[in-house]
Structure 1
């Protein structure tokens, strides 16, 4: 906290909470029965609840903390329109044929939340300004040509290559070796988007129980018994929508998702000229490094919001803030001397095949594993799961697959993440050095 990179009023909490801080809702009685119980009141849980409510299906949403306390109000607020779907760090890359259905549904996910925000007039700074993916090395840039074609063919991405000599038109940095623009991409204020969903649920009478964790879930005849500290609910169906916070109450799902800490900082207010120089077109940004970074201007274009895998594992965001600050100034030397007002972290959920999943496991519905694309993907998977329960699905969602891979050596303990981090840093160094 004594580091010169922190402002005097620095806060170790999300910048987004200045506009909306998660808080407990008025206590409600835990019902004895519900047609559907949703565990987790994040993007997936609330979108599932809204769709069930629209179909006239009784549901109750349980959250272990204040609704929105997790990743739904902590993320970077970037909506990439499918560019990250099929992107793999460890598993073999998908072929074009394999990735096609995922990209098509990821494009639908983007359209779903764009339509939702417009239809419900959610004031969350939705800005469809596109996304720039920086190539870490020449070989990464060379590999983007096929990616552009695939994205445009299946995800309607309006994507195109940006050679190094034109990079400054997109980003105020010479750090990359060119890159790719995805036109069908956006950014928003994640906490205000969440608030909009929460307000809709409250307005429509959806039952949401704050600080009411599910402590045990057991099958009971054709349905389920969901135990909480405040009573037991008899349910017809249960949706697990806990993503990066999946715990011991669902051990079979816990061993299928890997929670990874993602770390973010917010700068102090920048001069208008400096802010505009960083992002001339108000794009959002990421790069092709394995040790990923992602960033964008705040909705008022006065700050840079900069995130990434500062460390692999889970640690104090104050400890990782100097690492992110260095990453930031590596890309933008003009920000040397700029201080940080906020630093925070939240869990991203990766799956072992690096693809988002929805479906049923032992008759338990789930929507899990955003793999870093949570704003649109978790909203979409929650919505699709609800439609499936309501019997309104005309075709099977690409992410609704019978298999959800696990590994015999993984039970939810992420002790191995620092070793993966070392491997990723080594591979990044080799790519830059030899490509």
Structure 2
């Protein structure tokens, strides 16, 4: 493969070009606060905003610059978030809880649009729809069956696009048709995060960046968070670390599977080519188990293309070459176009493919968004803030189910290479 990198190539998130990471000097670390939030991503910021607006002193800690994790590294795609079907959820948790969990997914999609609109956050939010492409004829049949048998009360507008008509949606002959989910949306995740930080500051939240939480304990009087700059006592602590959860809480570490997700951005493309590749400016994904997701940049000048590139984690130079090869397989028209950005982040996956929220005494958590974190992290962050406040509307179906782990898992996903190769094999042979 010829050199694919443009002059001025960056191995940092494309979103940081217009929304640089907030790395202002940290606020002083107080000895006490009503609430300490660990993690300055969407989850932590939404929780902090609710708590601070209720008049409680709130401190947000982050081990790096504010937003250095996946909240400013993701693709900015928003769906209804719940991966298991109603039938799968009902078998595990019963019909009532299953429907409440599915409602959480739909509520998360509605919440983020309502929030962005009400708060006036300029983040290129738009309801553009998702084209979910079928990688095999069997996958298209599954999309048709799902569209024809939507759970009562959770119906969404879906349009099936057969293979002979898919060029109206995507400039690729690789797929076997697909489905348009009209209510799915897109956002500039960097600008959205910056808007949340600004709202939190206005509400009186203190931010202590470049300060890792190194210890966490609780007793009848509350909780204590240790840091290299000293300790801080709190009435409540919110653990909002998701794919960046480490050894701070071994219990949570055993339940979160950190998985690297990689994205590249192309150089600016002619408008006519963009119109060919993505005629209706939708977000796009496909039915592979090892999924690809892609979209136009908000200014509609580039393709942002992401996915899982290998069975083990890799550097962003190697991942760029692999993603570029996949990009050309879908869009041969892009041959010779160069890559300007390549980056990655860790998503938090779980053993049941569900996000989870809950509490242990004074320590609250929300995490495990399984790659659908923009809407769900926002929603569960908000709900976690309400739970800290004891608000009657804090409840979710997600918080009513156990957060599973597996024997022998201690936070290092030793099984991931085998699992990824297994699913790649299934994708290749179409099962």
TM-score (norm 2): 0.94
**In structure 2, distance between residues paired with 1:95 and 1:138:** 28
Q: Does 1:21 align with 2:20?
A: yes
Q: 1:239 maps to which residue?
A: 238
Q: Which deviations, in whole Å up to 9, do the C-alpha atoms of 1:86-105 show, x marking residues without a partner?
A: 279xxx95459575332321
Q: CA deviation at 1:207?
A: 0.9
Aligned partners of 1:273, 1:21: CA distance in 2, in Å? 30
Q: 1:51 to 1:338 in 2, by over 3 A?
A: same
Question: 2:17 & 2:39 partners in 1: Cα distance?
Answer: 23
Deviations 1:211-248 (A, max 9, x none): 11111011122411111111211111111100000010
Aligned to 2:202: 203
Say if 1:100 and 1:160 are closer, same or farther in 2 by CA, change over 3 A: farther
Query: By how many angstroms is 1:130 displaced?
Result: 0.4
Measure the CA separation in 1 of the matches of 2:55 and 2:313: 41
Gaps of 5+ in 1: none
Q: Is 1:184 aligned with 2:183?
A: yes
The alpha-carbon deviation at position 154 of structure 1 amounts to 4.3
Q: Distance in 2 between matches of 1:303 and 1:152?
A: 37
Pairwise CA RMSD: 2.0
CA offset digits 1:58-105 (Å, max 9, x no partner): 2211101101001011000111233x53279xxx95459575332321
2:398 alignment partner, SS class: coil
Matched, 1:42 2:41: yes
Q: After TM superposition, give the deviation of residue 429 of structure 1 in Å.
A: 1.2
Three-state SS of the structure 2 residue aligned to 1:22 is: coil
Q: Deviation digits for residues 29-60 of structure 1, max 9, x if unmatched?
A: 21111111111010000000111122222221
1:85 to 2:83 alignment: yes
1:126-153 superposed Cα distances (whole Å, 9 cap, x missing partner):
1211001111112211112342256574
Q: Once structures 1 and 2 are overlaid, which stretch shifts more, 142-151 or 347-356?
A: 142-151
SS of residue in 1 equivalent to 2:399: coil
Q: Contact 1:260/1:312 (CA < 8 Å) preserved in 2?
A: no
What is the CA–CA distance in structure 2 between the aligned matches of 1:154 and 1:48, rounded to whole Å? 29
Equivalent residues in 2 for 1:249-264, closer than 5 Å: 249-264=248-263
Tell me which moved more, 10-19 or 94-103.
Answer: 94-103
For structure 1, which segment, 408-417 or 365-374, has the greater mean C-alpha deviation from structure 2 after superposition?
A: 408-417
Q: Residue 313 of structure 2: SS of its match in structure 1?
A: coil
Residues 168-208 of structure 1 show CA distances to partners (whole Å, capped at 9, x for unaligned) of 12111121111111111111111011000011111221111
Correspondence list, 1:163-182, <5 A: 163-182=162-181
Pair 1:158–1:167, CA change in 2 (3 A): same
Structure 1 equivalent of residue 423 of structure 2: 424
With over 3 angstroms needed to count, the CA separation of the structure-2 counterparts of 1:206 and 1:245, relative to structure 1, is same
Closer/same/farther in 2, CA of residues 155 and 53 from structure 1, 3 Å limit: farther
Q: CA deviation at 1:23?
A: 3.1
CA distance in 2, matches of 1:326, 1:99: 40
User: Which residue number in structure 2 is paired with residue 135 of structure 1?
Assistant: 134
Contact 1:100 1:154 in 2 (8 A): no
Partner of 1:304: 303
Partner of 1:286: 285
CA distance in 2, matches of 1:151, 1:74: 32
Alignment correspondent of 2:108: 109
In structure 2, how many angstroms separate the alpha carbons of the residues matched to 1:314 and 1:395?
37
Measure the CA separation in 1 of the matches of 2:264 and 2:88. Answer: 31
Query: Residue 218 of structure 1 aligns with which residue?
Result: 217
Q: Is the 8 A contact 2:305 2:323 kept in 1?
A: yes
Q: Distance in 2 between matches of 1:322 and 1:310?
A: 10
Alignment of 1:307-322 (within 5 A): 307-322=306-321
Give the structure 2 partner of residue 342 of structure 1.
341
Q: Are the equivalent residues in 2 in contact too, given 1:101–1:398 (CA < 8 A)?
A: yes
The alpha-carbon deviation at position 156 of structure 1 amounts to 5.0
Moved more, 3-12 or 206-215: 3-12
Question: Does the CA contact (< 8 Å) of 2:39 and 2:60 recur in 1?
Answer: yes
TM-score (norm. length: structure 1): 0.94
Contact persistence 2:293–2:306 (CA under 8 A): yes
Counterpart of 1:325?
Answer: 324
Q: Which moved more, 1:259-268 or 1:331-340?
A: 331-340
Give the Cα separation in 1 of the matches to 2:352 and 2:41: 23
Aligned residues: 427
Query: Are the counterparts in 2 of residues 85 and 102 from structure 1 also a CA contact under 8 Å?
Result: no
